[in-house]
Structures are given as C-alpha cells and as structure tokens.
Structure 1
Amino acid sequence: MSNKENFLLECYQLGIIKFGKFTLKSGIESPFYVDLRPLASDPKILKKLSFFLLELISINDFDLICGVPYAALPMATAMSLESELPLIIKRKEAKAYGTKKLIEGIFSKGQNCLIVEDVITSGISLLETIPEIEKEDLKVTDIIVVLDRQQGGKKLLEERGFRVHSLFNMTEVCEILRKNNLISDEEISRINDFLKGNQVQFAEEKRLTYEQKLENSTNSFSKKILEIAIEKKSNLIASADVLTTKELLDFAEKVGPNIVALKTHIDILTDFDFDETILPLKDLANKYNFLLMEDRKFGDIGNTQELQFSNGIYKISSWADLVTSHVIGGENSLDCFLNVGVIAILGMSSKGTLTNSEYREEALKIALSHPNVIGGVCQNKIPDELLLFTPGVNMETKGDNKGQQYNTSEFVFKNLKTDFIIVGRGIYKAEEIEKASLDYKIAGWNSYIENL
C-alpha cells in the first residue's frame, strides 16, 4: 500500500467523508458528504497533508500562498511553514473598519500566488475568489485542491486557463476504501451514478415499529410506554397545564382512555395536597392504563436534583413514572433518577431557543450513554436507540405570541420520525376535551401507521 493510500485511510478515520443521503447547499441529494475541517485538529495529519500537497507543484514557481477561507486556511498555513512561502489571507468579507481590506498580508505587485482549496465541486467559489486576489495586482496561475469531487469544477477552471492540481479525486477515494472493505459496492454504484449526473435513488428510510422498539428495549419504563402504545393504539401524551387539583383530576378522567401518558407541571397547582392530588391521580392512571410524566425539567447539579426529586411537598420520586431533565449538569447529574424513566431535554420548541445544534449533539451523547434515559424531547430526528417525544404538536401549525411554534402530527411522524406526540392547548383549551383527545389519538396513530 502506498504512502498516499495510508494517508487517506488516516484521514478517513477522522470522519472527513461520510456515505449516506445528504442534502447539499444547492438542494441536490448526494450519496456522500466531505468535510475536511477535522484535519486541522490533528497536527500530525495536517503536517503530512502539507507534504503531499507541496509535492504536486514546484515551490520555486510561486511567491505567495493563499488558502480559501475557511477550511483551507490551516492547510495553507502548514504549507507556508513547510515551504517558507509567505502566506496571505483572503477574508470572506471586508472589515467594516480599519483598512477594510479583503486581502491581508505582505505582498508586492506582480507576485504569483498559489491558491489552496480543500474541496472543489463546481469551481464557482474559486472563480469568485481569484478576481479579488487579482485586483491586488497579484497573478494566479495554479490551484491546489485536496479533493476533486469530479462535478465539473476542475474542468471549468482549466478551461479558464488555470492549472488545477488535486491530491485525490472521488473515484480514487472510492477505490482505496473499497480495497480496504470500508465502502460497499452499492455505495460505489450510487456515487458513480451521482458523478455521471444521474439522479440517485436512495433506499426509503424505514422507521422501527413500536413492536420492534419494544423488542430492542432494555429499560422497564421504555417497555411500559411502548406496551401501552401498542395496547391502546395511541402515541398521545396530553399536557395538563391546569392550576387546581379538581381541574387536573377532571382532565385526567376525560383524556385517560386515549393517552399513553399524562404530562404534569405539578408545581403550578395552587392547592396541591399529596393525598388529595396524587393518590386519586394514581388511581386514574391505573384505571385507564397511562403513565404519569412530571415535566419538571430538572436542570441542576446531581445533589440538588436528587433533593428536588425525592423531597419537598411533591415527592416526585414516589409517584412519577417519567420525568424530564436537562442534561446541562453533565452525565452524572442523571444518576439520582432511580426507578423512573428519564426523558432528556435535547431541544425546545420555542422561537429563539438556545438549544442549538452543538448543544443538541453533546446532549444526545449523554442521553445515549446513560441507562436511566429512555428518550429525548427534541424537534429533530434522534437515533432509534432512544424514543423521541415531540412537543408543540397541534392541528394548527401557527404559533402563539409567546414564541411557541407548532407542528402537525403528520409533519413530526414523517419528517422527525417521532414516537410520541405531546399536545397541550389543543386538548386542554378545547371546548370538548374528551373529543379533542380522541381526535389527536386517532390523528397521531394514523400518522404513525402511514409512515412505517
């Protein structure tokens, strides 16, 4: 095996190429996705990359080197350090203050600048970058690229008179990965079709049934809610955002036959009494076979959460089957939730929420690794190992004046692959609560069946 092949395999281990179904900026669905930014986090690989790239050209032909922002900047910097070619930096946007320059660095008119790019696709971004460098009276004759996706970019640039040097193209990558049993023939076939400009046919993504999830489940509370769903043909969780015990019990009586769980905010009750509130509520849960889900949204250090869970007037640990908890306190903060199923808050449905993609990614890692966690609350797809609980579901898609945003049951089952819908105002604000809960039960179950 050549040094170049070994190097590609090292890069591959960093996850720079993924195979599957990906939507590109253009909206086109691609069978692979390339992201070379992780290379900058491994100094040894970055250094090797600079060697391989510099071997593609004669450094004596160039006076300067410039990386296209942002992914190619670390590559160009490493090449500059190795070759001692001076580095200039091309900004994406000119500063609104100071010199307002697009090109930063020390250079002279007439110098020849080597352009470095990570991936070339259509070549359009380079055709936009090069004139901005040429405006400084610098020459551009050659472009180095780590990966040519073979989608016309190299040909376009060469037709414009530029020499394009690529370390790898996608065909070479596939050949090396196939030799090492890292890619299937089916994936290669899809990629070849894609590179020829053909529309790729992806296998339809199938969701697991409740029966399949039940078979795979190891958590007793996950099993319970799935068993109830199958028995009652329901995936509905009704949110009881009411203020008195009477309202809570009346609500539970009306929706009980149609739900898998009743979601409570027990601390908003104005007349809470353990014996008068919880004991009859548990009787109703047994009568109608639904779980009690206390939406406490714990979000503190483990010791404090343990006290909040087990003590105080609510004694949540003594009656709740499920609780919701943020994971901002870290994985160990969830250890206190014994004999209860934890639903991790991975994302929120309100407009302007701070639970961005980076937060969700880290929260998801904790949720997947902790044995107490059975699922997550989120507005995005999550792995099949977890149950997805989706709030903000309403027959109407419009939101409210407090930032709440709604989705229909059809949308969340089709696009998010949700498992359980959480409905609040659509039921408890309805004129006929029992009928509304039945309507949502039927709509949710039909949406689940249609999207199997």
Structure 2
Amino acid sequence: MSYKNEFIKFMADCGVLTFGDFTLKSGRKAPYFINTGNYNTGAQLARLGGFYADCIKENGIEAECLFGPAYKGIPLASCAAMALSQKYNMDVGFCFDRKEAKDHGEGGLFVGRQPKKGEKVVIIEDVMTSGKALKEVYPKLKDAADVDITAMVITVDRMEKALDTDLSAVQQAYKDYGIKVYSIVNIGDIISAIEEGVIEGKEYLEKMKEYRRTYGVSE
C-alpha cells in the first residue's frame, strides 16, 4: 500500500475523515468532512509526523526549518521535524509564532529556532481552506529575517474553489506568494481509495464525485 493510501486509511481509522451530510463553514453541503482535531494520542501524532516526512522527502522539498503557525501548527511542525530525523536522518529546526510578541524574558515573536535571512523554511499546516493562516504568517516570517519559504505542506488538498474565485486556496497561495503547497493526499486520492476498497464509503462515491464536479478545480 502506498503511503498515500496508508494515510487515507489512517485518517479514517482515527475518525478524522468521515462521510455523511455536512454543512461546511462556507455554507456548502459536503458528503465528507475532515476534522483534524480528532488526532489526540501520542501514537497518532507520531504516525502523522511520518506522513509529513514522507511527503517532504518524496517531493524533494528543501527544508532547514519547519514552521508551525500557532496553534494547530505547533504539534504538527514538531512531529514532522522528529519524523524527518528518525526516518530520513534529516535534522531540521522547527519553530512557531506567538499570537502576541513577548516583551519580557528572551522576548520576541518566535519560539524555537529563530528565523535567519535566507534560511529555507517550510510551513506545516493541517488543511488549507481559505489561505488565512498563510496570509497571517507570511509577513511575520518575511519581516523577521527575509527567510526563503520553499513550500507549505498540508495533509489534504480539497481541490475546491473558494467562494470568490475559481481558484482553490492552494492555487491562490501560489498566485499571491509564489509558494507551492504540497499535500499528503488530495480529494482525488480519497475518491480512488474508496473505489479501490482501501476504506469504506462506496455509498458516498457518487455524491463525492458530484461535489467534485460542482466545486472542484483542475489539478
């Protein structure tokens, strides 16, 4: 089984990927839902980090530091950095931002490895719906030390049009910032996994495909 199919099964087993009738924040009615808050054990986090590491390695992404936007990105960047070391002998730094700059002690906006000019930084996130997280952290990172943001890595690319454009959040990120967003899997991979029997959910296949036809973007 490919690491992509292993990840899809992992999401389903953890209750992160579920099927049914869901109303999304956008108001759209979707036949599937991804709730990354259901990763809640040390073992799950360790496996999740391994999948991030696989994606980084497979795509040849250059990284000297992994950055996790507060708050969800903090454990994600941490576990991904550990997995890169353990699986691929890649020892990279990691850091995260504070919501507000600290004005006492060591001070500053960043915790962990401090951004350095020209350093190759990869942003680690869970999913990308509107691109809001990137809009917030991009100026923080660039203002701190003009780092080289080589990529952003997420778990799932929904490949879905935003409300006000025909581009997905992933495509918009590249248009606005020149940052390529890599995902461990995308919605096409999930549909294929259902068809191949990797996970259950064949009763939702047609709804999945219809939703994709209605709101999806091309790869």
TM-score (structure 1 length as normaliser):
0.39
Q: 1:94 aligns with which of 95, 100, 109?
A: 100
Distance 1:149 1:67 in 2: 20
CA distance in structure 2 between the aligned counterparts of 1:123 and 1:43, rounded to whole angstroms: 24
Distance 1:197 1:90 in 2: 37
Secondary structure of 1:193's partner?
A: helix
Q: Name the one with the larger strand percent.
A: 2
Contact kept? 2:50, 2:80, Cα under 8 Å: no
Number of residue equivalences: 195
Other structure's SS at 1:94 match:
strand
Compared CA separation, residues 192 and 123, structure 1 to 2 (3 A): farther
Task: Report the secondary structure of 2:159's partner residue.
Answer: coil
**Residue 97 of structure 1, CA deviation:** 4.8
From the superposition, tell whether residues 106 and 73 of structure 1 become closer, same or farther in structure 2 (CA, over 3 Å): closer
TM alignment of 1:255-270, pairs within 5 A: none
SS where residue 118 of structure 1 aligns? Answer: coil
Q: CA offset at residue 78 of structure 1?
A: 1.8
Q: CA deviation at 1:29?
A: 3.1
What amino acid sits opposite 1:121 in the alignment?
Answer: T
Q: Corresponding residue for 2:169?
A: 153
CA pair 126-43 structure 1, distance change in 2 beyond 3 A: closer
Deviation of 1:21 (Å): 2.3
Partner Cα distance (1:58, 1:115) in 2:
15
Whole-Å separation in 2 of the counterparts to 1:26 and 1:72? 22
Instruction: Note the aligned Cα RMSD (angstroms).
Output: 2.5
CA offsets 1:38-65 (integer angstroms, 9 cap, x no match): 3352244234324323323436x32211
Match for 2:141 among 108, 129, 133? Answer: 133
Between the aligned partners of 2:95 and 2:74, the Cα distance in structure 1 is 10
Map of 1:182 onto structure 2: 200
| C-alpha spacing 1:139/1:21, structure 2 compared with 1 (3 Å) | same
Taking the aligned partners of 1:143 and 1:49, their CA distance within structure 2 comes to 14
Paired residue type of 2:66:
I
In structure 2, the CA distance between the partners of 1:103 and 1:29, relative to structure 1 (3 Å rule), is farther
Unaligned segments of structure 2, at least 5 residues: 161-167
Distance 1:100 1:30, change over 3 A: farther
TM-score by length of 2: 0.76
Deviations 1:96-152 (A, max 9, x none): 753664322333223221111111223233223222211112221311111101120
Deviations 1:155-179 (A, max 9, x none): 1112231122111001211210232
Matched position secondary structure for 1:135: helix
- The one-letter code of the counterpart of 2:190 is V
Secondary structure of the 1:140 match is: strand
> Which ranges in structure 1 are unaligned for 5 or more consecutive residues?
199-452
Matches within 5 A, 1:27-46: 27-39=27-39, 41=41, 42-46=44-48
Contact 2:125–2:152 at 8 Å: present in 1 too?
Answer: yes
- Correspondence list, 1:60-209, <5 A: 61-81=62-82, 82=85, 83-91=90-98, 93-95=99-101, 97-98=103-104, 101-107=108-114, 108-137=116-145, 138-151=147-160, 152-160=168-176, 161-180=178-197, 182-185=200-203, 187-197=204-214
Larger Rg belongs to: 1
For the 8 Å contact 1:147–1:167, the answer to whether it is kept is yes
Q: Is the 8 A contact 1:56 1:165 kept in 2?
A: no
- Structure 1 residue identity aligned to 2:91: E
Aligned to 1:15: 15
Percent same amino acid among aligned pairs?
22
Asked if the contact 1:40–1:75 (Cα under 8 Å) also holds between the matched residues in 2, the reply is no
Tell me the residue number matched to 1:444: none
Alpha-carbon displacement from aligned partner over 1:183-222 (angstroms, at most 9, x marks no partner)? 124x233233333445xxxxxxxxxxxxxxxxxxxxxxxx
- Paired with 2:182 and 2:52, the residues of 1 have a C-alpha distance of 13
What is the identity, as a one-letter code, of the residue corresponding to 1:5? N
**Aligned residue for 1:227?**
none
- Is contact 2:96-2:112 (8 Å) kept? yes
Between the aligned partners of 1:69 and 1:24, the Cα distance in structure 2 is: 23
Contact 1:40-1:74 within 8 A present in 2 as well:
no
Equivalent residue, structure 1, for 2:55: 53
